[in-house]
């Protein structure tokens, strides 16, 4: 088979799935609102998601996505549910069953179990209105009938794509409804590359006694000793009210040293850079690096967001790069 033939097949598959997604988009209505609100209001229970075959794989993805945005969720293996795993379902839970046909034998016992407990909400995701799942669900979502990509209309492709997209749509709607932000997301992703992207200035800043603070009236001969001792190549100047009034880097110091004859006796206030840039400790570290690059500086004062003139830490480009922030 020639390369252009392979490419054409691939493009046709993607086109079929795009068409399926458009049908999915058109089917969104009041039932999705019900699903989102039911999941959000499940405060005293958990979200249990199950399916069989390819729908089972999609169910795992739904559960993983919901968990990542702070909604307690897990996947229930339908084939094992009738052999003791049904005990994982308890009152006040929300059960989501995904089945294209809505007739999977493995799901029928779960449907019977949920119907016996009025406190358990059953959400059915299926494409068949006459199915057991659709008829017995408290909240029903009817998937559109779509053409599977590939010959024979038999390989689950377009149907699983729309199931996956529906799960993402529900998750993001819940996320927006709960005002779930980057810092919330970070709590559930403490490791890996994603965690690094969500590091805040507060995670990486230098704080406490390590901050190279000096008073405005200090003479340069004494300020230089502190600069060397702290080893950060920068000094943060504050007044007697602990308000940050200036900053001085080793580069500034070298340039000033050439201008003044009695450099050691000069007060730091006379050569410092006034009103240094300060960022909130909750700012993403990547954003602070952008500010440094934009302003061609190597350090920023850090504040707590309430008292912007009071420095609680310092973030340096070295600290950011050492943490692999790019």
Which residues share a beta bridge with 96?
A: 49, 123
Q: How far apart are alpha carbons 118 and 194 in whole angstroms?
A: 40
Q: What is the pLDDT of residue 117?
A: 87
Q: What is the per-residue pLDDT across 60-94, written as a single tens digit (0 to 9) for each?
A: 999 999 998 889 899 999 888 777 788 889 889 99
Confidence of residue 28 (pLDDT cuts 50, 70, 90): very high
Confidence of residue 197 (pLDDT cuts 50, 70, 90): confident
Q: Which of 186-190, 272-276, 308-312 has the lowest mean pLDDT?
A: 186-190
Q: What is the pLDDT of residue 201?
A: 93
Mean per-residue pLDDT of the chain: 89
User: Quick count: other Cβ atoms within 10 Å of Cβ 57?
Assistant: 16
Q: How far apart are alpha carbons 48 and 59 in whole angstroms?
A: 9
Residue 324 neighbours by CB under 8 Å, 6+ apart? 196
Q: In this structure, what are the phi and psi dihedrals at residue 121, rounded to the nearest 5 degrees?
A: -90, 130
Q: What is the per-residue pLDDT across 109-152, written as a single tens digit (0 to 9) for each?
A: 999 999 998 899 999 999 999 999 999 999 999 999 999 998 88
Q: What is the pLDDT of residue 186?
A: 65
Q: What is the per-residue pLDDT across 171-196, written as a single tens digit (0 to 9) for each?
A: 999 999 888 776 666 666 566 666 66
Q: What is the pLDDT of residue 185?
A: 67
Give mean pLDDT, residues 237-262: 83
Q: What is the pTM of this model?
A: 0.68
Q: What is the pLDDT of residue 3?
A: 76
Report whether pLDDT(96) > 70: yes
Q: What is the pLDDT of residue 4?
A: 83
Give mean pLDDT, residues 299-321: 91
Closest CA to 205 of 326, 290, 311, 324: 311
Q: What is the pLDDT of residue 196?
A: 67
- Is the CA virtual torsion 242, 243, 244, 245 positive or negative? negative
Parallel, antiparallel or unpaired: strands 313-316 and 273-274: unpaired
Q: What is the pLDDT of residue 78?
A: 87
Q: What is the pLDDT of residue 261?
A: 72
Report whether pLDDT(254) > 80: no
Percent of the chain with pLDDT over 70: 94
Confidence of residue 36 (pLDDT cuts 50, 70, 90): very high
Q: What is the pLDDT of residue 195?
A: 64
Confidence of residue 253 (pLDDT cuts 50, 70, 90): confident
Report whether pLDDT(199) > 80: yes
Q: What is the pLDDT of residue 183?
A: 66
**Domains observed in the chain:** 3-180 (3.40.50.10490), 201-322 (3.10.580.10)
């Amino acid at each position: 088979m020639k390369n252009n033939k392979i490419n054409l097949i691939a493009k046709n598959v993607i086109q079929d799935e795009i068409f399926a997604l458009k049908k999915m988009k058109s089917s969104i209505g009041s039932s999705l609102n019900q699903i989102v609100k039911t999941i959000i209001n499940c405060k005293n229970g958990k979200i249990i998601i199950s399916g069989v075959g390819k729908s089972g794989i999609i169910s795992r993805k739904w559960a993983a996505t919901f968990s990542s945005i702070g909604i307690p969720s897990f996947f229930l293996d339908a084939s094992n549910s009738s052999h003791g795993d049904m005990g994982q379902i308890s009152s006040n839970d929300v059960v989501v069953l995904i089945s294209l046909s809505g007739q999977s034998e493995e799901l029928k016992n779960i449907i019977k179990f949920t119907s016996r407990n009025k406190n358990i909400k059953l959400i059915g995701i299926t494409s068949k209105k006459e199915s057991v799942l659709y008829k017995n669900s408290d909240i029903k979502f009817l998937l559109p009938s779509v053409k599977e990509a590939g010959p024979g209309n038999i390989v689950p492709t377009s149907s699983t794509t729309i199931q996956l997209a529906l799960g993402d749509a529900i998750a993001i709607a819940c996320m927006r409804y709960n005002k779930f932000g980057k810092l919330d997301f970070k709590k559930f992703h403490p490791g890996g590359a994603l965690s690094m992207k969500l590091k805040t200035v507060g995670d990486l800043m230098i704080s406490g006694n390590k901050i190279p603070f000096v008073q405005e009236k200090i003479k340069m001969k004494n300020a230089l000793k502190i600069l060397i001792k702290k080893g950060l190549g920068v000094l943060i100047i504050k007044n007697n009210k602990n308000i940050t009034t200036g900053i001085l880097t080793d580069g500034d110091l070298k340039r000033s040293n050439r201008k003044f004859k009695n450099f050691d006796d000069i007060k730091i206030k006379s050569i410092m850079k006034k009103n240094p840039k300060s960022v909130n400790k909750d700012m993403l570290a990547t954003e602070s690096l952008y500010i440094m690059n934009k302003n061609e500086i190597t350090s920023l004062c850090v504040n707590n967001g309430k008292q912007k003139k009071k420095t609680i830490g310092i973030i340096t480009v070295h600290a950011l790069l050492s943490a692999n922030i790019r």
